[in-house]
Structures are given as C-alpha cells and as structure tokens.
Chain A
Amino acid sequence: MRKANTSPRWAEALPTAGSYFVLTPTGSSPAHLYQQLWHSFHRLDDVGFVDPSDQSVIPFLSVADNILIDSPKNDIVRLRQFLFDNEYTELNTHDFLDKPASQLNETERFYVQLFRFLLLKRHYIITTNFLDNQGIATFRIFFNLLENVLQATDSHLIMVTSDHEMVDGQPAERLLSADLFTQQ
C-alpha cells in the first residue's frame, strides 16, 4: 500500500502540537467515528492510528523490538530513559520494554502503538475512545505525561471520545468537531 505524502486538509485546524479531542456526534458511536476516520486517512503518510483492540504487535518480540522494528537503538534508549524519568505506574516502568508482546494487555498495547507512532514522528496520531473507559484519574496522569512529549516531537494526538468529563476544562481550541474530518 503506497502512502500518500500530502497532509490532510484538517491539519490547518491544528496549529500547535499537543492533544486534541473529537467529540462523537449525537446518534453516532465513537467506534463508528474512529472507523470513518481510519478509512478516510489511513493511507496518509503522516497519520498513525492507535486502536488497542487491534492486536498490531509481533507476539514473539519484546515490547522494545515491537515499538520500532529495525529501529535505531538510541531511539529505544531514549524511550527507556523517558519511562525511567517519568515513573508512570501503568507501564510497570523498567520491565515494560523487555516484556514479551504476547503477554500485553489492552492498555499496554495502547502504549506500544502510541510510542511507535511518536518515535516514527507521525504528526497526527488518532486514537479510539479507549481512554474513556480508563477513568479520569488515569487519563489526567497520562495526559500530563504525554503533553511534553507531543510538544517535543511536534505531534498532534487526536482522541475520539464520547466522554464529556474527559474534555471538561480543556481549552476550546483543543476541541474539534467531527464534521471537520467527515466533510472532506
């Protein structure tokens, strides 16, 4: 599958790197919206899709080898250092990168896919509404952890969500309308 090199038209609505939220329109499900986005943009070179229900791992390799296949070693060293510096309990810190991918749960698969696209320097990363079910406390920790990384890698994380609690208190420019993506 040859990937297209052009940036999507909605890229102009995302001026700065960081996290963005797409609220699911009434009468539609987050899964349906995510599938619509996937179908419209999965061919674009600059867009990565994160869906932990989708296995997307090589079970016989470690997490480190899975994140970037044939990756430069220093990328993984930097990621290891990052996880070490940011004691994020969800990832069991030290041993997470050495864990066999066949033993990952859905949350860990989410991080594998996310780190993969961050290290690949994808400018636009679209996730399912996976974080809706994780509880607001987990989301806040994750969100704070990630914001600096997104700024550093100049990436835009676009999270499909139907959870109003998650978007409460977010700046207006971080909330995107589903129409922006679906009316191309």
Chain B
Amino acid sequence: MLFINRAIASLKYHRRNSIITVVGMVFFMIIVLALQMLRQIETTISTGFMNNIQGFPKTIQSELQLTIRAMQVTHGTVLNQYAAYIAYTYLAIFIFLVVINSISLHHRQSELKAYSATGKSVSWISLQLFVEYCLLFFIAYVIVFVLGIVLTFVGTGWLRQVNQHIFLQQLPDVLSTTQTTAFIKSLFHQQLTFFNWQELLAGNTVTVNRIEIFTSGIRQSFFSFLSIVILAIIGSSWVGIHWWRFRQSRQYR
C-alpha cells in the first residue's frame, strides 16, 4: 500500500482529528489571507496618495512636505502592523499544528508500535504523517480559496473600511480628516482635483484591483503555509517519535 493510500485511509479513520485540523487551518489561513489583502489595499492607497500629491505643483509639495512625511510614516506604521499580525498568525498556526500532531501521536501509539515493529525509521514515520497533514492542508486550501473569492467580491468594501479605521487610529491628530487648515482650504480652492482633502487622506482616491489583491494574497499564503506544515509536522513528529521510543525503552526498567 502506498504512502498516499495509507494517508487517505488514516484520515478517514481519524475523522475527528482530520476535521479539527482542517477547521483550524481554514480559520488561521483565512485570517492571514484577510491580513494580506489589507496589506495590499494599504500599499495601493499609500502609492495612490503619493501619485495624487505629485499632481500638485512643486511649490505646493514643498509646503506639504511635513504633511507628506507624516502620511508616509503612518502608512509605514500600518503596513508594519499588518506584517506583525501576519507573523503572529503564522506562529499561532505553527503552535496549533504542533499541539494537534502531538495529541494525535499520543492517541496513535499502536500505529507507532506497528511501524517500529516492521523496521520503519523515525524519518519514514514522520514522512507518512506529513503526507496525511499535507492532504489536509490541500483540503483546507481549497476551502480558503473559495472563501477568499467570496471575501474578494463581497468583503473588499468592508476590508477597506477596516483599513481606514486602523489608519485613522494611527494618523496624528493634526492630520485628522475632520480638520483642515487655511492652507489646505486655499489649496483646494486654487486647484481643480477630482478629490477633496478628506478623501485624499482617507485613501478614497484609489481604485483597488480586487482580483489582484486576492491572487497575490492566496499565492503568497500557499507557499508560506506549506512551509509551516512541513516544519511543524515533520519537526514535531520527529521529536515526538524519538521521545516516545525513549519512553518505551525505559518503561520496564
């Protein structure tokens, strides 16, 4: 029987563990996907802001230098915040997989004994377990792909609002969208634009390409998650099986 056949039979038999793992993976992957989409939206808005500013004459850009700098810093802070949240979510899924695999190993000692009795190495058993989790990852990824499409077409507006909320929280009070200085008032009075100051600060001047933010997010998360599954499952299996064998060899002392 091949690795893959054994893995499918195992997933069917250990149904509860499989369902918990897929639900957990989907939960964390959708969070990462949403955060990556938020980062894409924020990057687009940040770039759009600079493009809009460059539409003004050089003299006005010099006058707005401090404002531009403050805006860039705020955009940078928000982007860093998203990157940090993504890293925390990756860490959370790593821990989740290690814990779920360790609990599963504890319940599958008869299998470990059978594999050991037939002379299978720790690496071989770890690889067998990895194939099982890899299949679960593919199932979770398909679910996330479908949910991601829904999020792209239904939830992008909501994601923009969330991003705007986070951005405004980071924005210095002096640049609050509700306040405008006399200079800004005169600036928009003199120059014809398709946006006003509030819209410029809020990033409403930019059109977000929904398909692009979804495809780039889902592409990035595939490789990142696959790497985490490889590290978490092979690592925890290898250490767990060695520990189990050590405990076995000492149990009759």
Contact = CB atoms under 8 A, between A and B. Distances in A.
Given A1-B249, A43-B249, A70-B1, A60 B114 contact: no
Interface residues of B, number: 23
- Interface secondary structure of B, over-half rule: helix
Interface string B17-36: 00000000000000000000
Interface string A69-91: 11000000000000000000000
Given A1-B245, A39-B252, A55-B110, A61 B115 contact: no
Given A56-B110, A58-B110, A69 B249 contact: no
B1 A60 contact: no
B12 interface: yes
Contacts of A68: 118
B214 to A, nearest CB: 37
Contacts of A43: 249
A113 B151 CA distance: 53
Given A36-B252, A39-B252, A113 B245 contact: no
Interface string B107-133: 001110111111110100000000000
Contacts of B223: none
Nearest to B8: A60
A21 B9 CA distance: 39
B253 interface: yes
Contacts of B110: 54-59
B253 A39 contact: yes
A129 to B, nearest CB: 16
A1 B116 contact: yes
A54 B117 CA distance: 12
Contacts of A55: 109-110, 113
| Most-contacted residue by chain A among B1, B114, B252 (CB, 10 A) | B114
B118 A69 contact: yes
B106 interface: no
Interface residues of A, number: 27
Nearest to A66: B114
Given A1-B245, A39-B252, A60 B113 contact: no
B9 A60 contact: yes
B115 A69 contact: yes
A116 B113 contact: no
B13 interface: yes
Contacts of B109: 55
A123 to B, nearest CB: 14
Contacts of B113: 54-56
Contacts of B14: 60
B58 to A, nearest CB: 72
A35 B252 contact: yes
B2 to A, nearest CB: 8
B222 to A, nearest CB: 29
Nearest to A112: B114
A111 B155 CA distance: 59
Contacts of A66: 114
Contact of B114 (A39, A58, A70): A58
Closest 7 CB pairs of A and B: A55-B110, A60-B13, A56-B113, A39-B252, A35-B252, A60-B9, A1-B245
Interface of B: 1, 6, 9-10, 12-14, 109-111, 113-120, 122, 245, 249, 252-253
